[in-house]
Amino acid sequence: MSFLTPSLIILVFLCMAGLMYTRRVSALLALPIMALAIAVIGGIPGHDILTEVVGKGSMKLHNAYTTTMFGAILAELMNRQGIARALVRWVAEFAGDNPYILASVLTLVTALLFSTLGGLGAVIMVGTIVLPVMLSLGVSSATAGALYLFGISLGGMFNLANWALYIDVLGVEREKIIAFVIPFSCLIAVVILLFLALELKSWKNSIYLFIGSALSLGAAFVLSRVFDPSAAGGAGANLALLDTSFNIAVGLVVLLSLYAWRRHSGGNNSQGDIPGFALFTPVVPLLLVLGCGWEIISAFVFAIIYGVLATWNKASINQITRSIIDGITTVIPAVFLMVGIGMLINAVSNEAVAGAIKPLIASFIPTDPIRYVLIFTLMAPLALYRGPLSLWGMGSGLVKLIQTGTTLSGQAIMGMLMSVGQVQGICDPTNTHNIWIATYLGTDTHALLKKTILFAWLAVVGGLVLACCLGYV
């Protein structure tokens, strides 16, 4: 019986993986089905399945999906008020016509936008602006699509709504996430610069590659010191910073309210009239969280207020109302996916299931630095198709077993997931944004996969080594 139970649980994982891979069952259905099947196979009593797995499991990630909703409202507002479009066009106008520099800057702006934006609608909206500009530089369609994917993935590293999932599932502190994300994102930036230099095939770009890489690595060093959680002044200093930043935020809201009233009374109500300071809207929540220690939802709320008042026009009331409704609507699939993830986590965390499968997990999960880097580098493709190394798929249950059944810390698992997640986020042919980008550019998803896989894999190695250097393993 001790052998039969883990064998059946693994069989359930494999069957669901096959069904998701062949696209016969979506992850939205596969995860709750998997949770119930594993609970029954593991011998969890019926009343515990109803209360712990289904009831409490569906609410387990409430903080993550509430955060996702507020992030979606801000993203929809930026779409409706034209902030994202204005930012891309402004950069394209002033960045010059050097292909390497302009493509690099457009990728950086894409990353900035997707630190707040999310969903296929945002991908389409930004892509229809960014991709034609890249193509006009003489960049091939596959290269332009790859750069766009790199930018989306790089921005996703700073998407605060994504952080909530690591906080809830792995119990990683926000400061620990920041300590990893900042240097890792700079390493990814170096990989992007290398990719672009090789694609453009011009030796004169080597100087831009050298300068850009030096700036990225220098930024990693400086920002890691600035946001070093061990250098914080303590609870009193943090509270003082929160109070000070809140008072500044209140004063800013008053000034922006006066500005909005002036725009309204002066008849300056054109929706396309975007003031320069409104372009800072996607940066506002990042500055508040990283620099001032605000909670993520609070930062999103202030950014929404900032965006509305900075772009005020006669339709703003309707726009914010529609942003709330449409923004939440766009993330309902992600919210339901988190409901399924919560159920799966509670199912595999139950002692009846965990006790049966822990020995198997402990036997093949590496816990020393060298094997950690080597094995997870080789296993990186398992993050594709919402596989066992994808937190947004089958991995949501597996990572909890890894945390409870091995000596790996939550930070080490987070570092692994963020690292291998680059392969999934950039290369996966089943991603809806990959499909749209390939269709828009007249290519196919496998061409994008071939173009990006080696560089995404290089980013994986960098992230895993970084996790070891930070002492997570």
Q: Check residue 378 and give its pLDDT.
A: 92
- For the chain, give the mean pLDDT: 84
Convert the pLDDT of each residue in 426-435 to its tens digit. 988 877 788 8
Distances (CA, A) of 24 to 19, 185, 283, 334, 446: 5, 35, 39, 19, 20
Q: What is the mean pLDDT of residues 320-324?
A: 91
Confidence at 462, pLDDT banded by 50, 70, 90: very high
Distances (CA, A) of 257 to 260, 278, 368: 5, 13, 55
Three-state secondary structure of 211-266: HHHHHHHHHHHHHHHHCCHHHCCCHHHHHHHHHHHHHHHHHHHHHHHHHHHHHHHC
If DSSP codes are grouped into helix, strand and coil, which group holds residue 127?
helix
**Residue with more model confidence, 273 or 15:** 15
Convert the pLDDT of each residue in 192-243 to its tens digit. 999 999 988 877 778 888 888 898 888 887 777 766 655 555 545 577 888 8
Q: What is the C-alpha R_g of the chain?
A: 23
Confidence at 365, pLDDT banded by 50, 70, 90: confident
| Least confident range of 12-16, 321-325, 417-421 | 12-16
The DSSP call for residue 407 is S
Convert the pLDDT of each residue in 78-130 to its tens digit. 888 888 888 887 877 776 678 888 889 899 999 988 888 877 777 887 888 88
Separation of alpha carbons 281 and 69, rounded Å: 17
Region at 294 (left for phi over 0; alpha for psi -120 to 50; beta for the rest)? beta
